[in-house]
């Protein structure tokens, strides 16, 4: 089942034509990445669609979030701005999971995080898909993309210029796709 499908999407900021006929999809149970240099339209893809889940029932509740991120239970009385970057990312993911989504869209979740936390994120994304949450990851950290996703799309100048499966692809060859 397809959870997200873009077919020939064009997006503009004022008169600036940012996305030029972008087509991509995310199916149920998939982990997909959108990669590319700064300014090529990755975040515009996310900004080009709206999703909301109101009163959606499902397996995610505060206890499951605390099981997934025990440090959040310890910091439950602390405001988010006083948490470390990694803890803030856990909090953001926990909040998103509370809506019991079928698809989670994450825009640069590794930005500013320590490598050990990025490794934990990769494991978390794989675990979440096992539990029925598909992932669309917009990311520049090739190590995270390589470990956490199954398919990728490369954006350049607002256009999908390459796509493929991660199986058998090295991090270096993934970087070469973006350098094109």
pLDDT, tens digit (0-9, with 9 covering 90-100), for 97-144: 988 999 999 999 998 888 998 999 999 999 999 999 999 999 989 999
Q: How, if at all, do strands 151-156 and 31-35 pair?
A: parallel
Per-residue confidence at 180, pLDDT binned at 50, 70, 90? low
Separation CA 128–CA 78 (nearest Å): 26
The helix (H) or strand (E) run that includes residue 79 is none
Give the number of other CB atoms < 10 A from CB of residue 6.
17
Residue matched to tokens 């600036």: 16
Which domains can be identified in the chain, with CATH numbers?
2-53+101-179 (3.40.50.300)
pLDDT, tens digit (0-9, with 9 covering 90-100), for 67-98: 989 999 999 888 887 888 888 888 889 988 98
C-alpha count within 13 angstroms, C-beta hemisphere, residue 52: 3
- Residue 11 near residue 44, CB atoms below 8 Å: yes
Q: Is the pTM of this model over 0.85?
A: no
pLDDT, tens digit (0-9, with 9 covering 90-100), for 140-179: 899 999 999 999 999 999 999 999 999 988 888 888 877 6
């Amino acid at each position: 089942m397809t959870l997200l499908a873009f077919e020939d999407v064009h997006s503009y900021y004022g008169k600036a034509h940012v996305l030029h006929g972008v087509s991509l999809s995310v199916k149920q149970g998939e982990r997909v990445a959108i990669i590319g240099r700064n300014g090529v339209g990755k975040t515009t893809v996310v900004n080009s669609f709206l999703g909301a889940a109101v009163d959606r029932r499902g397996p995610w509740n505060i206890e499951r979030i605390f099981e997934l991120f025990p440090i959040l239970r310890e910091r439950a009385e602390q405001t988010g701005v006083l948490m470390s970057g990694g803890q803030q990312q856990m909090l953001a993911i926990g909040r998103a999971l509370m809506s019991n989504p079928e698809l989670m869209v994450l825009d640069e979740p590794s930005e500013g995080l320590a490598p050990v936390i990025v490794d934990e994120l990769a494991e978390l994304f794989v675990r979440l898909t096992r539990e029925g949450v598909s992932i669309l990851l917009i990311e520049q950290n090739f190590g995270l993309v390589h470990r956490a996703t199954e398919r990728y799309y490369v954006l350049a100048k607002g256009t999908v210029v390459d796509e493929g499966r991660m199986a058998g692809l090295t991090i270096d060859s993934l970087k070469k796709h973006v350098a094109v």
